[in-house]
Amino acid sequence: MVTELETLIVQRRAGVVTVTMNRPEKKNAANDAMWRELEKVFAEVAAEGDDRVMVLTGAGDAFCSGADLGASGDAAGQSSQPHLVRMRSIGNVALQLHRIPKPTIAKVGGVAAGAGMAMALGCDLVVASDDARFSQIFAKRGLSVDFGSSWLLPRMIGLHRAKELAFFADVISAADARDLGLVNRVVPRAELDAFVDGWAARLAAGPPLALSMTKSMLNQSLGLSMEEALDRESMAQAVNFGSSDTLEALRAFMEKREPRFEGH
Tell me the CATH number at 147: 3.90.226.10
* Residue 153 to residues 25, 61, 121, 128, 182, Cα–Cα distance (Å): 29, 25, 8, 17, 8
Condensed to tens digits (0 to 9), the pLDDT of residues 77-90 reads 445 679 999 899 99
- 173 lies in the same domain as 111: yes
Residues 182 and 52 in one domain: yes
Same domain assignment for residues 136 and 175: yes
pLDDT digits 0-9 by tens, 47-64: 999 999 999 999 999 999
Segment 219-227 shows an average pLDDT of 95
Long-range contacts, 44-49 (Cβ 8 Å, 24+): 45/17, 45/19, 45/100, 45/102, 46/96, 46/99, 46/100, 46/101, 46/102, 48/17, 49/263
Which amino acid, one-letter code, is at 57? T
Task: Give domain status of residue 119, yes or no.
Answer: yes
Phi, psi (deg, nearest 5) at residue 30: -90, 120
- Contact present, 123 and 97 (Cβ < 8 Å): yes
Q: What percent of the chain has pLDDT over 90?
A: 92
pTM value?
0.94
Determine the structural domain holding residue 82 and report its residue range.
Answer: 2-204
Cβ pair 98, 147 in contact under 8 A: no
pLDDT > 70 in the chain, percent: 96
